[in-house]
Structure 1
Amino acid sequence: MKNSLQYRLISWIAGCILAIGAIAGFFSFFGAFQQAYRFQDEQLIQVARLINSNRLALADAGVLSSPGANGDSPLIVQLLGNPQYRGNLPLPRNLANGFQTVDIAGHSWRLYVKQLNSGDRVAVGQRTEGRTQIARASGLRTLMPFGILLPVLIGLVVLAVRKTLGSVDRLTSELDARSESDLRPLDIAAAPHEIKPFLLSINRLLQRLGRAPTQSLHR
């Protein structure tokens, strides 16, 4: 089977398709993963801007700041150094402005710290576990087309190779069906260009075999 021309062509082409698909899938997944992370960072910035513009009251920040009994809230918003609200995370007061990832209460948090116009400093954050799950799901969704298209593409390659080499199979069947005395040339009009020299050699051989009895009689 490994000496089959069809097997070799299909194996090489399918291998190239899978290799290129794997590389493209990796970059697609990684790009979507990073984009999802950037989008979530932008959400933290937008929430901080809403608070700074007083579109979101600081009292509302206290409601959002509680991570809940199980610590599974997707978002926390709280003023640094403000013990006014119950359930606030123990955030250090000396957190630098901007983005940072810190370990708090046994969990990793992605925080965005901003100084408000009032002089207060607010921290907006999310658990990194939840962010990673969202980013991973976004990346996996980009792989779905590869999982569908790659098998389809390989199937088309198999059909194309078999159809292309089908003329060779027909010539083989024609030769097998002939009697020993049938030395007519093969019809190579539909044969692939690459194997026509080989088929022409077979036709020349058949011609020589057809002349052989006549030449032996003249001797």
Structure 2
Amino acid sequence: MLYFVPRTGRRLRASAVLGVTRGLQRRLLVMLIVPLVLLAAINAWFEYRSAGNVALQQDQRLQALVPLVADSIVGDAGGRPLLMLAPPVQEFLKDDPSAAAYAIIDVDGQVLQGEEWLADELPPADAEPQFHSEEHGGVTWRIVRQRQQTIFGEVVVAVGDGTDARQQWARSILLRVLLPNLVLIGAAAFAVGWAVERALRPLRALKEAVERRSPRDLSAIDEAASPEEVRPLVDSLNRLFGLVNAQAESQRRFVADAAHQLRTPLAGLQAQVEAWAQAAAATPQDGTLALPTEQVYKLRSATRRTSQLANQLLALSRADARGMHSQPQQRVQLKSLCEDTLEAHLDAATARGIDLGLDAEPVRVMGHEWLLRELMSNLVDNAVKYSHDGGSVTIRCGRRGSEAFLEVEDDGPGVSAADCSRILERFYRVPGTQAEGNGLGLAIAEEIARVHHSHLQLGAGAEGRGLKVTLPLPG
């Protein structure tokens, strides 16, 4: 079969699926985390508004206490005001003595009654209340100062509250908003990442299934194993696989039919040319002109190559990996198979003085016997064809560890490292090769190896000479 899906295309598809998966995961994380951040910001804004309302209420409360403190002055006690605190002022001072303070200050800034530190600021220049925050004793105080007319005369009344709502708001933002929200966002990011990872696991499984596929595996993907949201994509991929598979199958049938149709006329032509070659080689007895020997031999060689090409094309189409998956395997005795292969190629090896040997141990494997026979025939034919006259070729089979193997080794010219990666390609021949061939023998063997879920292993022969081709097989 000549149709071929390149491996790079498969890797690109897998990388694309992986990129889509990671892109979806990032987008889902952003789409879920950003709203949480926005909600945290809105919560902080509401806390700020709430703190502002509390601060305004505190200022109003302090301002309401100022005239009450002024009204508490009931007389003059030797140059100092005589006080009888109003109940609201008493309640304010008793609720939290460490966070409540007042002072009565004359217009010159001297404290007449109350806390001395409340006179640190200059008295107000007019009757409007003045609010400000001040640090004292490690506490932020909210203080209001205002001029008041009393029976003692004009004084400045200062009232301070150590429970500053603005300071409480800063602590609230840190402890009740920012830290919990940061912890919540971190936990949400972890939970969302975990959930998204699990939710996208079927997509990753689909990616891995596509990545593990052989370039020649065009079978449909199981839609039932895919998430419902991905099934349209899987359905489209299956339709594409079906179209490509149909095209490949059509091409495979064409090659098989063409090769099959060529076999009969080529066989007849080869028989006729062989007869001409024998006649050309015979010495004429009656003085007639002999057939042109050189031209007949060239024609015979071309006919043999063409006939071999038709047979190899037919074998290649029959050995197509996709076409063999549906055919049942059977137990194959590798030793008998190697013995038959040696017998089939013994005459060709003897004609060139090649020592064709067998080193076989009894071992059975599951496989397609006629395909393994075709594989060994191609490997031995190549070894005999490319070895030098008087060389040696060894056929082996047996078991190494848990695996069985088939192996053909020769002491011929071998293959360079640069050509090792290409000699399994169809129609590729090592430059400078003199022996006849079409470059299909090893390609057919590799296709048969794929059918048996394996690959040909190429290496140097004994003492670094020649070529050794090994096929590992599940035991």
Q: Which residue of 2 aligns with 1:153?
A: 188
1:198 aligns with 2:233: yes
More strand by share: 2
1:135 aligns with 2:169: yes
Q: Which residue of 2 aligns with 1:125?
A: 160
Structure number with greater CO (CA < 8 Å, separation at least 6) is 1
Query: What is the TM-score of this pair, normalised by structure 1?
Result: 0.64
Q: Over residues 115-168 of structure 1, what are the superposed CA-to-partner deviations in whole Å (9 max), with x where a residue is unaligned?
A: 59979763312479x664333113323323312221222223323322332221
Q: Which residue of 1 aligns with 2:144?
A: 111
Judge conservation of contact 1:32–1:139 (CA < 8 Å) in 2.
no
Judge conservation of contact 1:25–1:146 (CA < 8 Å) in 2.
no
Indicate how the Cα distance of structure 1 residues 178 and 114 shifts in structure 2: closer, same or farther if over 3 A, else same.
same
- Identical-pair percentage: 22
1:1-219 to structure 2, matched below 5 A, reads 3=19, 4-10=22-28, 12-13=30-31, 16-17=34-35, 19-21=37-39, 23-24=41-42, 26-45=44-63, 47-48=65-66, 51=69, 57-58=84-85, 74-81=99-106, 83-85=111-113, 87-88=115-116, 89-90=118-119, 92=123, 94-101=125-132, 110-111=143-144, 113=146, 122-126=157-161, 132-140=166-174, 141-179=176-214, 182-189=217-224, 190-193=226-229, 195-219=230-254
Indicate how the Cα distance of structure 1 residues 95 and 111 shifts in structure 2: closer, same or farther if over 3 A, else same.
farther
1:47 is displaced (CA, Å) by 4.6
Judge conservation of contact 1:186–1:199 (CA < 8 Å) in 2.
yes
Query: What is the TM-score of this pair, normalised by structure 2?
Result: 0.34
The root-mean-square deviation of aligned C-alpha atoms, in Å, is 4.6
Distance (Å, rounded) in 2 between the aligned partners of 1:208 and 1:79? 98
Structure ID, larger Rg: 2
Judge conservation of contact 2:28–2:196 (CA < 8 Å) in 1.
yes
Distance (Å, rounded) in 2 between the aligned partners of 1:136 and 1:5? 39
1:172 is displaced (CA, Å) by 1.7
What SS does structure 2 have at the residue aligned with 1:20? helix
Indicate how the Cα distance of structure 1 residues 218 and 131 shifts in structure 2: closer, same or farther if over 3 A, else same.
closer
Indicate how the Cα distance of structure 1 residues 58 and 206 shifts in structure 2: closer, same or farther if over 3 A, else same.
same
Indicate how the Cα distance of structure 1 residues 198 and 108 shifts in structure 2: closer, same or farther if over 3 A, else same.
same
What letter corresponds to residue 58 of structure 1 in structure 2? L
Q: Over residues 66-100 of structure 1, what are the superposed CA-to-partner deviations in whole Å (9 max), with x where a residue is unaligned?
A: xxxxxxx7443123428433753436265525453
Unaligned runs of 5+ in 1: 66-72
What letter corresponds to residue 100 of structure 1 in structure 2? F
